[in-house]
Amino acid sequence: MTWSTVYKREYSAPEVSIKEILRYARSGEEAKDVVTLAQECLEEAAGVLAFKVCFREFDISVSGDQCDLGFVKVKSKGLSKNLGGCKRAIVFAATVGLGIDRLIMKYGAVAPSKTVMFHAIGAERVEALCDLFCTDMENELGPITRRFSPGYGDLSLSMQSDIFRALDCTRQIGLTLNDSLLMSPSKSVTAIFGIKDSGDTEEKEDKCEICSSINCPFRRV
């Protein structure tokens, strides 16, 4: 790849995890009626989801908790740890489109249980898209680190603006950012991961292990 180029990819729907959807819905158990609701909402959402990613490669350097990412310099112990030893990184943005937001608005006042489930489906779908994209990148580029997003751990959410400028997200995949640093479509992710040296086979840490939010309701460990 040429580091100065922004690339774009579109994917077919990744494999669905009902278990993850129920976790995002904060359902304590896989009760039959809840699973049925999730499946019904998945069927309704299937026709409106669009899986899009744009990304760009940068040369980076890390010293202490200072990260020079090529398009911005940031201070973050968490990101520095995640990118430690890497000289290159991929910055990307992913979205599943506005369709899921429209379904959330449609049922907001009339079916609260569906609204919660569509939020959960949107979260699971965009995370599955990110997983699929990162797997593709690892197959193409070799070992990579965990992805790390603005607002995660001690990385400032303000980095969103820098990523949007670096990737031209609006033109590439229709993703916009408001003055409060919230993205539209809402079920979207921006993140960065490092490209390891080919000889580095160190096992990745679980992304919940490197996050300082130990009371997060979505924490896996």
Averaged pLDDT, 98-118: 96
86: Cβ contacts below 8 Å, ≥ 6 apart: 60, 62, 145, 194, 195, 196, 197
Name residue 10's beta-bridge partners: 52
Cα separation, 3 vs 88, in Å, equals 9
5 vs 215, more confident: 5
The overall average pLDDT reported for the chain is: 90
Tens digit of pLDDT for each residue in 116-143? 999 999 999 999 999 999 999 999 999 9
Helices (H), 72-151: 77-83, 99-107, 112-141
Averaged pLDDT, 30-36: 88
Give the pLDDT confidence score for residue 218 in this predicted structure.
Answer: 41
Tens digit of pLDDT for each residue in 195-216? 998 655 455 455 555 554 444 4
Give the pLDDT confidence score for residue 28 in this predicted structure.
Answer: 67
Give the pLDDT confidence score for residue 198 in this predicted structure.
Answer: 67
Range scoring the smallest mean pLDDT among 8-22, 27-41, 90-104, 137-151 = 27-41
126 vs 1, more confident: 126
Answer for the pair 21, 116: CB distance below 8 angstroms, yes or no: no
Give the pLDDT confidence score for residue 208 in this predicted structure.
Answer: 54
Q: How would you class 140 by CB atoms within 10 Å of its CB: exposed for 0-12, middle for 13-18, buried for 19 or more?
A: exposed
Answer for the pair 59, 70: CB distance below 8 angstroms, yes or no: yes
Tens digit of pLDDT for each residue in 50-85? 999 999 999 999 999 999 999 999 999 999 999 999
Give which of 56, 57, 62 is closest to 82, Cα–Cα: 62
Cα separation, 78 vs 189, in Å, equals 18
Give the pLDDT confidence score for residue 151 in this predicted structure.
Answer: 96
* pLDDT exceeds 80 at position 107: yes
For the chain, domains (ranges, CATH) are 7-195 (3.40.109.40)
Give the pLDDT confidence score for residue 27 in this predicted structure.
Answer: 84
Give the pLDDT confidence score for residue 123 in this predicted structure.
Answer: 98
Give which of 85, 92, 53 is closest to 71, Cα–Cα: 92
